[in-house]
Amino acid sequence: MLKKKIYILIILALFLSPSAVFALDMPKSADDLALIYPVTAKSYAVADKTSGELIISKEPDMRWTPASITKLMTAMVFLDTKPKMAKIIAMSKDDEVGGARIATKAGVKYKVSDLFYASLVASANNATNAVARSTGLSKQDFVARMNKKAKELGAANTVFLEPTGINEQNYTTASDYVKIANAAFSNPQIHKVAMAGAYSFVSTNNKRYRHNLKNTNKLLSDGDITMLGGKTGYLDESQYNFVTEVKDKNGNDLIVVVFGSQNSKTQFQETKQLVYLGGLAKSFNRMASAVLGTSTISSVLQ
């Protein structure tokens, strides 16, 4: 019913006089249109994949702790080093931090490719640290490359202090992470891993350490949208974060960043709402351009 109401408002906005539109108390922008739906997220951004243009947003430049979506940047920097994925590496005590992790111990060996999957599929912090360490770079040098790449991607308000996202003093913004996620999901290797619903592997030197991982992205099997990549993140300080690339039913390729949803369920529900509204705003812009010769919802509704 609400969707029908929105479409009626759009048609009226296109064909009524400006004074009549004003009298209807129409939303004045795509962002106002998004407020028709309740969204608990503290900050979000929906962008066109191709142009990078923000379609709808809320507090897109608010500084936020990215939590485990940090691992997308870690993955890009790791791949930039041209790693040998078949390389074997032993886990170290230094890899162990809090949060999500695979059940293992120092001295247990794995293929780097398996740890790469564990980092992105299950958000395992110890696997992520091992992946970064496998490059031969010191932690300081690896993190320096993460920050350098962020700047190269235009993410000027982003700073990383370590590779996993466990440090609450890492910070970014929704508008910055649109750029980072766009680059990450455009990488075929990251795309492939991010799309894995589950992954299993075993240690190369101790067969007792077998791991069966499930992807933390609950939208992978959703029939309403076509998932092209996704990464979750949670810390007490940042609540539930989710970043994804999706294609909606109208073929719109969108990057969606949601920061600070209230629980693990709403981060996915709100992402779906924002995908719908982002596609709606794009459709409105196309209609406005065809009928009125303007290209943005704001120029029609104001």
How confident is the model at residue 19, as a pLDDT? 45
- Determine phi and psi for 157, rounding to 5 degrees: -110, 40
Per the structure, the count of domains in the chain is 1
Domain with 125 in it: what CATH number?
3.40.710.10
Give the helix/strand (H/E) hosting 233.
Answer: strand 226-235
Q: Residue 184: which residues within 8 A CB-CB, separation 6 or more?
A: 72, 73, 75, 76, 190, 229, 231
Task: Retrieve residue 77's tokens.
Answer: 């920097």
How confident is the model at residue 270, as a pLDDT? 93
Domain coverage including residue 281: 2-301
How confident is the model at residue 223, as a pLDDT? 84
Identify the burial level of 18 via C-beta atoms within 10 angstroms of its C-beta, where 0-12 means exposed, 13-18 middle and 19 or more buried: exposed
pLDDT in single tens digits along all 302 residues of the chain: 445 445 444 544 444 444 444 444 444 455 666 666 678 899 999 999 999 999 999 999 999 999 999 999 999 999 999 999 999 999 999 999 999 999 999 999 999 999 999 999 999 999 999 999 999 999 999 999 999 999 999 999 999 999 999 999 999 999 999 999 999 999 999 999 999 999 999 999 999 999 999 999 999 988 888 999 999 999 999 999 999 999 988 889 999 999 999 999 999 999 999 998 888 887 766 655 544 444 554 444 33
Render the burial of 279-302: b for 16+ CB within 10 Å, e for the rest.
bbbbbbbebbeeeeeeebbbebbe
Render the burial of 232-269: b for 16+ CB within 10 Å, e for the rest.
bbbbeebbbbbbbbbbbeeebebbbbbbbbeeeebbbb
DSSP 151: H
The answer to whether residues 129 and 97 touch, using CB atoms and an 8 Å cutoff, is: yes
